[in-house]
Amino acid sequence: MATDRLRKKIGVGRHASSIKRDRQNEKHNARNRHARSTMRTIIKKVRQELTLDTLKASTPVIAKAAKKGLIHRRKASRMISRLTKAVNKENAS
Tens digit of each residue's pLDDT, the chain (93 residues):
456 666 666 666 678 888 888 889 999 999 999 999 999 999 999 999 999 999 999 999 999 999 999 999 999 999 999 999 999 999 997
CB 65 within 8 A of CB 76: yes
Q: What angle do CA 60, 33, 19 make, to 5 degrees?
A: 130
**pTM for the full model?**
0.80
Q: How many angstroms separate the most distant Cα atoms in the chain?
A: 70
User: At a CB cut-off of 8 Å and minimum separation 6, what does 63 contact?
Assistant: 76, 80
Length of the chain: 93
> Whole-angstrom Cα distance, residue 72 to residue 49?
25
